[in-house]
A and B are shown apart, each in its own frame.
Chain A
């Protein structure tokens, strides 16, 4: 027994020594990072860098980039700024990147720089908002007139063909807002007797949107539904409806899928929302650039469909969104 103890002490100490040295030497091992080969780069310039909508665009772009063997450099101003946007394009041009995907903040100011880039031999695709008159290779995004029509159809589905509705839009001169209102109007004029009681602008600010909604509901208590053409308009309207105790009585049909929007749908404050497919936009834009680089000339407008999300298909939609987000990480 004692002898056994003695021997086990010897063996144990040898084991301990070897074990600890192996652990130490292993921890000293310097793992050199694997040499990644440098790939062509496509710069994606967003509207606002931290916007969740643009994160989905990025996710789609990254997916396509992986498929085509390029990398995405996601850029964008911290707050919406035309100068910043142009600067990013120019910088990408100076750095002679393989392709540029850009959101056009202001068509007239962007045309020159877009033309310069195309003349310099770098493919450029506009995304989400277009500069039709420039030499850009292609546009990928929503047809906002069509999106307005889809909104109109949803309003009719919710309230029928009679009654009053009001519109809150995120800026009276903003191109996509105007287009959406235009599409909406033309659809209900054609398909129903619905009267548009009022059109208010929030300039895409939450507080203004709420005030506008309250104003409408006070002036027109018989309004059956509020049609909001931008993401924040919907949230503002939801706040107003909630504070006036009109939940359920006044339907809200809005745009986009901010988390708060989805929350409000779940609570039943917002009835439904028209969503675009940013993931698909990003995905398509990269493929168009790559096709052009590889010699397959692809030009024109590529329209991505809009979807209507209400309380029923909220869960499925959330799961799909989750999948897109997880692809960025």
Chain B
């Protein structure tokens, strides 16, 4: 009854299906009932057969008795009336009786057969005696001549009747015996059937208990596994094999599902871990840079005490006013402005307008220094107050243009600053027509230039630092680009998103 099935994955699943189990169960119940019905049918059929045979024999026996009596009656009639019809009927009934006896001889038990033989012989004796009587009678003899033979005939008839009643008794006894036997057999069969049905019921109860036990054990297992899953325990559980195909499939599928969920969660966790690590690294970098800046600032602060410097510059400025050196006085004010700005704005962002003002002050100083060696064009086409940048963003580029462009060139050059709003971006182009830079120089500028401080560098923290701050602030990489050609000039592009 067990089956070996290959399920979809091709592994051997050794259990029978629920349907098969139920069929087996039904068979347990149905077979005994069917068997008992069949047996009862056969038994009752047999009883009715016996009854039919008995009735048939009884009626034939009765028929023989009637025929004999008819025959004797007509024999008597003939003797009394000499009627030939009676003689014919006497023979006719005699023949009928003999025929019936012979017919009965075919299917009788041995006892009845002996009686039938006696009866047949007695009938023949009757015929002989009767014929003898008739013979004497036909010879017109007197009644005293055939009387003895007539009495003998009569006696034989009574013997025949005695045999017939013996035959009836014999048949009756025989059938009663058969009936008793059948009855005994029937009660025996009843007992066997009873035991059979009880045993079958017991077996099916045991079968059902095992079957239900199987289901309940599996269900409990599934429940405990799902409780674990609810608590977040995704350990794979092989689970006991039941003998029910469907349950095994269910449990297998459930376990596979759990495994898949666990794998998915694991991959998500890995991803999150990676991201966290990345963030940690970035944070490290930033704090490193921050520390660096702080240390640079400390160095600057250590080099020049700003208050001392401002006080000194104020003192110089007042001295210049007293001496009527107005040019000197405005120069010093410009330097002090830039210095204040750069110190004040160190920790916060500035608007582009403030930046442009610083650049203007810086230009004023440079103008005094270089006089007519350069031309400066400022072209603003944007709302500068809306654009936020870190403080001291523009100044280093302009300074760079002086250091690398104008200063080395004898005949001087032009510095152009174009600020244009383009959509949600503000493009700042800073170009000079100086001597330009070679590639080594460019690399130096773009790379971290804090270690090798260029000549003439004062307040700026280097182009690289500015670019990095811009990138961090806006989270974009396409903010800065630079192009330069030896002998032609340098052009710096800044593309700053406008924040609302």
Contact string against B for A residues 223-254, beta-carbon threshold 8 Å, 1 for contact and 0 otherwise: 00000000000000000000000000000000
| Of the residues B31, B43, B121, B195, contact of A96 by C-beta under 8 Å | B121
Q: Are A9 and B203 interface neighbours, CB within 8 A?
A: yes
Asked whether B321 is an interface residue with its Cβ less than 8 Å from the other chain, the reply is no
Contacts between chains A and B (CB distance < 8 A), count: 84
Asked whether B118 is an interface residue with its Cβ less than 8 Å from the other chain, the reply is yes
Q: Are A20 and B121 interface neighbours, CB within 8 A?
A: no
Cβ–Cβ < 8 Å partners of A27 in chain B:
185, 188-189, 192
Cβ–Cβ < 8 Å partners of B162 in chain A:
91
Interface centre among B124, B125, B200 (most CB of A within 10 A): B125
Asked whether B75 is an interface residue with its Cβ less than 8 Å from the other chain, the reply is no
Q: Are B113 and A38 interface neighbours, CB within 8 A?
A: yes
Asked whether B28 is an interface residue with its Cβ less than 8 Å from the other chain, the reply is yes
Q: Are A95 and B113 interface neighbours, CB within 8 A?
A: no
Asked whether B493 is an interface residue with its Cβ less than 8 Å from the other chain, the reply is no
Cβ–Cβ < 8 Å partners of B243 in chain A:
6
For the complex, would chain A's binding face be called helix, strand, loop or mixed by DSSP majority? helix
What separation, in Å, do the CA atoms of A308 and B244 have in the docked complex?
Answer: 89
| Of the residues A12, A30, A93, contact of B46 by C-beta under 8 Å | A30
Asked whether A21 is an interface residue with its Cβ less than 8 Å from the other chain, the reply is yes
| Of the residues A10, A33, A90, A97, contact of B118 by C-beta under 8 Å | A97
Cβ–Cβ < 8 Å partners of A5 in chain B:
210
Contact string against A for B residues 112-134, beta-carbon threshold 8 Å, 1 for contact and 0 otherwise: 01100111011011100000000
Q: Are B192 and A36 interface neighbours, CB within 8 A?
A: no
Cβ–Cβ < 8 Å partners of A94 in chain B:
121-122, 125-126, 155-156, 159-160
Asked whether A1 is an interface residue with its Cβ less than 8 Å from the other chain, the reply is no
Contact string against B for A residues 82-95, beta-carbon threshold 8 Å, 1 for contact and 0 otherwise: 00000000110111
Asked whether B310 is an interface residue with its Cβ less than 8 Å from the other chain, the reply is no
Q: Are B203 and A90 interface neighbours, CB within 8 A?
A: no
Separation in Å of the B184 CB from the closest CB of chain A? 10
What separation, in Å, do the CA atoms of A10 and B24 have in the docked complex?
Answer: 10
| Of the residues B43, B110, B121, contact of A95 by C-beta under 8 Å | B121
Asked whether B222 is an interface residue with its Cβ less than 8 Å from the other chain, the reply is no
Cβ–Cβ < 8 Å partners of B110 in chain A:
33, 36, 38
What are 20 A-B residue pairs whose CB atoms fall within 8 Å in the complex? A9-B206, A10-B1, A13-B200, A16-B196, A17-B32, A17-B200, A21-B35, A24-B196, A27-B189, A27-B192, A28-B189, A38-B113, A38-B114, A71-B114, A94-B121, A94-B122, A94-B160, A95-B117, A95-B122, A96-B122
Residues of B that sit less than 8 Å from A by CB: 1, 28, 31-32, 35, 39, 42-43, 46, 109-110, 113-114, 117-119, 121-122, 124-126, 155-156, 159-160, 162-163, 185, 188-189, 192-193, 195-196, 199-200, 203, 206-207, 210, 243
Further contacts, 4 of them, CB under 8 A, given A6-B210, A16-B200: A9-B210, A20-B35, A27-B189, A95-B118
